[in-house]
Structure 1
Amino acid sequence: MQEAAGRREVTRFAPSPNGWLHLGHAYSAIFAFETAKALGGRFLLRIEDIDIGRCRPEYEQGIYEDLAWLGLDWERPVRRQSEHFADYEAALRRLREMDLIYPCFATRKEITDAIEASGIGHVRWPVDPDGAPIYPGLYKGLPRPTLNELMWDGRSYAWRLDMEKALARAEDMNGGPITFLEEASGPHGETGILAIDPLVFGDVVIARKDVPTSYHLAVTVDDALQGVTVVPRGQDLFPATYVHRLLQVLLGLPEPRYRHHPLVRDETGRRLSKSAKDMGLRELRLAGATPAEVRRLAGL
Structure 2
Amino acid sequence: MSQAPYRGRFAPSPTGDLHLGSLVAAVASYCQARAHDGVWLVRMEDLDETRTVSGADQQILNTLARCGMYSDEPVMYQTQADRQAAYQQAHNALRSKGLTYHCVCSRKQLADQAVYPGTCRQRTTRTDTLYSIRLQTTDEVIQFDDGMQGNQQQNLATQVGDFNIKRKDGLFAYQLAVVVDDAAQGITEVVRGIDIMDSTCRQIYLQRLLDLPSPKYAHFPVITDAHDHKLSKQNHAPAITEEDPFTVLRLALHLLQQAVPTPQRRTPKALLEAAIKHWQPDRLRGLAAVPQSAIEAND
Q: Shorter-chain-normalised TM-score: which range?
A: 0.7 to 0.9
**Superposed counterparts of 1:77-92, under 5 Å:** 77-83=74-80, 84-92=83-91
Percent of aligned pairs with the same residue? 37
* 2:190 aligned with 1:240: no
State the 1:92 CA deviation. Answer: 0.7
CA deviation vs aligned residue, 1:188-216 (integer Å, no higher than 9, x gap): xxx14x43332322221111254352110
Q: Secondary structure at the match of 1:107?
A: coil
* 2:45 aligned with 1:53: no
State the 1:162 CA deviation. Answer: 1.7
- For the Cα contact (< 8 Å) 1:50–1:211, is it kept in 2? no
* Distance in structure 2 (CA, Å) of the matches to 1:104 and 1:279: 38
State the 1:254 CA deviation. Answer: 0.4
What's the TM-score once normalised by structure 1's chain length?
0.78
From 193, 196, 220, give the equivalent of 1:261. Answer: 220
Q: Specify the alignment match of 1:22 in structure 2.
A: 19
Q: Specify the alignment match of 2:291 in structure 1.
A: none
State the 1:19 CA deviation. Answer: 1.7
Q: Specify the alignment match of 1:44 in structure 2.
A: 41
Q: Specify the alignment match of 1:179 in structure 2.
A: 143
From 277, 281, 292, give the equivalent of 2:246. Answer: 292
* Distance in structure 1 (CA, Å) of the matches to 2:162 and 2:40: 33
* Distance in structure 2 (CA, Å) of the matches to 1:257 and 1:110: 36
- Tell me how many residue pairs correspond in the alignment: 251
* Distance in structure 2 (CA, Å) of the matches to 1:16 and 1:109: 26
State the 1:279 CA deviation. Answer: 0.5
State the 1:135 CA deviation. Answer: 2.7
Q: Secondary structure at the match of 1:88?
A: helix
**Superposed counterparts of 1:172-211, under 5 Å:** 178-185=142-149, 191-192=150-151, 194-199=152-157, 200-211=159-170
From 135, 157, 168, give the equivalent of 1:161. Answer: 135
- For the Cα contact (< 8 Å) 2:194–2:219, is it kept in 1? yes
State the 1:91 CA deviation. Answer: 0.6
What's the TM-score once normalised by structure 2's chain length?
0.78
- For the Cα contact (< 8 Å) 2:47–2:171, is it kept in 1? no
* Distance in structure 2 (CA, Å) of the matches to 1:39 and 1:32: 11
State the 1:249 CA deviation. Answer: 0.7
* RMSD between aligned residues: 1.9
**Distance change >3 Å, CA 263–CA 23, structure 1 → 2:** same
Give the unaligned 5+ runs of structure 2: 257-299
Question: Which structure's residues are more often helix, by fraction?
Answer: 1
Q: Secondary structure at the match of 1:33?
A: helix
2:66 partner letter = W
2:195 partner letter = D
Q: Secondary structure at the match of 1:227?
A: coil
Q: Secondary structure at the match of 1:238?
A: helix
1:103 partner letter = H
CA deviation vs aligned residue, 1:141-169 (integer Å, no higher than 9, x gap): 12xxx33xx12x2x211001122xxx35x
* Distance in structure 2 (CA, Å) of the matches to 1:96 and 1:67: 39
* 2:210 aligned with 1:229: no
2:85 partner letter = A
Give the unaligned 5+ runs of structure 1: 113-121, 128-133, 172-176, 186-190
* 2:119 aligned with 1:138: yes
CA deviation vs aligned residue, 1:259-285 (integer Å, no higher than 9, x gap): 110111112221111012211122xx2
* Distance in structure 1 (CA, Å) of the matches to 2:3 and 2:188: 13
Q: Specify the alignment match of 1:66 in structure 2.
A: 63
* Distance in structure 2 (CA, Å) of the matches to 1:215 and 1:202: 16
State the 1:62 CA deviation. Answer: 1.1
